[in-house]
């Protein structure tokens, strides 16, 4: 079988979580890296063992005749670069968030359909051991109906973190703050566990500890009401002392479930208990990156390449994310910025 020709666009902090697994794929060859800062592209190309180094992603796609690009760019570039890459014939696996407006997400899905390309969006934590345990217990009916849910993300983003980035902390480039960048995974997981059949959302945004440093929220809380009446609440902020384990709690008819970082625990009313932890044999060192990014990029990337090999939609595809995580995150900002309840 012909090997897929692959390139990485954006060689910042997350890029090694894409480049290393891409370089290891049997049915693909990682040919090139692209970054506006050429030294970053050079450094990653050396790390991933590929020769192509570019500053212009269109040139990279055309000269290397690429079949697939991984997008590891600032949020505001996900949609335009994904759409252009698909126009140029590439499949696309983009980092979260899908985009910074709902309409951009719609355009990405339209482009994937028009150009018959596969579009994936990284939400790697859906593959965590704890997430899968809780999801299985819910979907199999063992836990019964969910009665209520809550989640917390209390992380630390210092002034230096924002000052060292030319795009974080801004509405036009990051598209938001604590929700779209940090809490997006945990809010998505909670709603994915509950089935994403949302009726309405309320949200409050605040900048409590980064005034004069960022335009966007460093704190948010909200209520997500599902069509079956279940209420799911969230609270997130990024002025804590450290990156504490994210937490999700579900109260269910037959017991309760808790996710803490990548671990899951289910306690049934009859006394049974199930636990899931990351398998240490599945963990690996990409040579950088905080532990809370987890070990599941590899799982989602493997699944995406399998989907390409089998010519089927990837599990976490653009259309699915548009209707679930992307619609939700954009609705939370609509509610929070316009001080209104958003009805689905
Ligand atoms: N899934 C996760 O857990 C996770 C974790 C961290 C980051 N991310 C996501 O990964 C993406 C990148 O984040 P990061 O922390 O690596 O950012 P970063 O700022 O470290 O890297 C972005 C890189 O893109 C380059 N770039 C900017 N414009 C470009 C252009 N037009 N062409 C080529 N290169 C360009 C920059 O020079 C920079 O090197 C974001 O979407 C972020 O939310 C996801």
Of the three residues 94, 124, 154, the one that is the final residue of a domain is: 124
CATH code for position 239: 3.30.360.10
Determine the atom of ligand 1 nearest the C-alpha atom of 55. Answer: 33
Do residues 228 and 154 share a domain? yes
pLDDT tens digits, one per residue of 278-335: 887 776 667 666 666 667 899 999 999 999 999 999 999 999 999 999 999 999 999 9
Show the tokens assigned to 110: 């339209």
Pocket perturbation via mutation, ligand 1, pick of 52, 53, 73, 165 by most ligand atoms within 8 A of CB? 73
Question: In this predicted model, what pLDDT tens digit does every residue of 24-53 receive, in sequence order?
Answer: 999 999 999 999 999 999 999 999 999 999
Q: What percent of the chain has pLDDT over 90?
A: 94
Q: Which residue owns the Cα nearest ligand 1 atom 19?
A: 12
- Asked whether residue 141 falls in the same domain as residue 103, the answer is no
pLDDT of the residue at 268: 98
Asked if residue 206 and residue 165 are part of one domain, the reply reads yes
Tell me the average pLDDT across 54-59.
Answer: 98
The predicted structure's pLDDT at residue 278: 87
Q: Is residue 35 part of a domain?
A: yes
Q: Using CA atoms, how far apart are residues 201 and 343, in angstroms rounded to an integer?
A: 7
Same domain membership, residue 176 and residue 88 = no
Q: Which domain holds residue 204?
A: 126-280+317-343
**Domain boundary at 124, 151, 185, which?**
124
CA distance 306 to 308: 5
CATH number of domain containing 75: 3.40.50.720
Taking 90 as the threshold, does the pLDDT of residue 126 lie above it? Answer: yes
pLDDT tier for residue 2 given thresholds of 50, 70 and 90: confident
Number of structural domains found in the chain: 2
- Residues in contact with ligand 1 by the CB-under-6-Å rule are 9-14, 34-37, 40, 57, 72-75, 77, 95-96, 122, 124, 165, 181, 293
What's the rounded mean pLDDT across residues 71-85? 98
Mean per-residue pLDDT for 207-221?
98
Q: Which pLDDT tens digit goes with each residue over 138-192?
A: 999 999 999 999 999 999 999 999 999 999 999 999 999 999 999 999 999 999 9
Position 292 scores a pLDDT of 62
């Amino acid at each position: 079988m012909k090997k897929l020709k692959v390139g990485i666009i954006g060689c910042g902090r997350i890029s090694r979580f894409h480049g290393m697994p891409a370089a290891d794929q049997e049915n693909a060859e990682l040919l090139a890296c692209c970054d506006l800062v050429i030294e970053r592209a050079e450094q990653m190309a050396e790390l991933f063992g590929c020769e192509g180094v570019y500053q212009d992603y269109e040139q990279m796609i055309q000269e290397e005749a690429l079949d697939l690009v991984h997008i590891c760019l600032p949020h505001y570039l996900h949609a335009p670069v994904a759409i252009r890459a698909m126009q140029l014939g590439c499949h696309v696996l983009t980092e979260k968030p899908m985009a910074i407006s709902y309409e951009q997400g719609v355009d990405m899905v339209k482009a994937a359909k028009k150009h018959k390309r596969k579009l994936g969006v990284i939400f790697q934590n859906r593959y965590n051991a704890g997430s899968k345990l809780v999801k299985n217990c819910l979907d199999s009916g063992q836990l019964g109906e969910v009665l209520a849910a809550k989640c917390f993300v209390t992380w630390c983003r210092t002034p230096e973190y924002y000052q060292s980035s030319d795009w974080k902390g801004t509405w036009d480039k990051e598209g938001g703050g604590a929700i779209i960048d940090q809490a997006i995974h945990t809010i998505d997981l909670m709603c994915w566990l509950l089935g994403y059949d949302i009726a309405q959302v309320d949200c409050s945004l605040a900048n409590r500890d980064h005034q004069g440093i960022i335009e966007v929220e460093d704190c948010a809380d909200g209520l997500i009401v599902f069509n079956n009446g279940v209420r799911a609440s969230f609270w997130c902020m990024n002025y804590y002392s450290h990156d504490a384990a994210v937490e999700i709690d579900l109260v269910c008819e037959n017991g309760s479930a808790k996710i803490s970082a990548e671990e899951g625990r289910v306690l049934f009313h009859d006394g049974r208990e199930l636990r899931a932890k990351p398998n240490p044999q599945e963990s690996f060192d990409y040579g950088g990156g905080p532990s809370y990014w987890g070990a599941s990029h590899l799982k989602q990337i493997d699944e995406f390449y399998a989907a390409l090999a089998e010519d089927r939609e990837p599990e976490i595809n653009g259309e699915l994310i548009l209707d679930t995580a992307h619609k939700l995150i954009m609705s939370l900002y609509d509610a929070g910025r316009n001080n209104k309840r958003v009805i689905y």
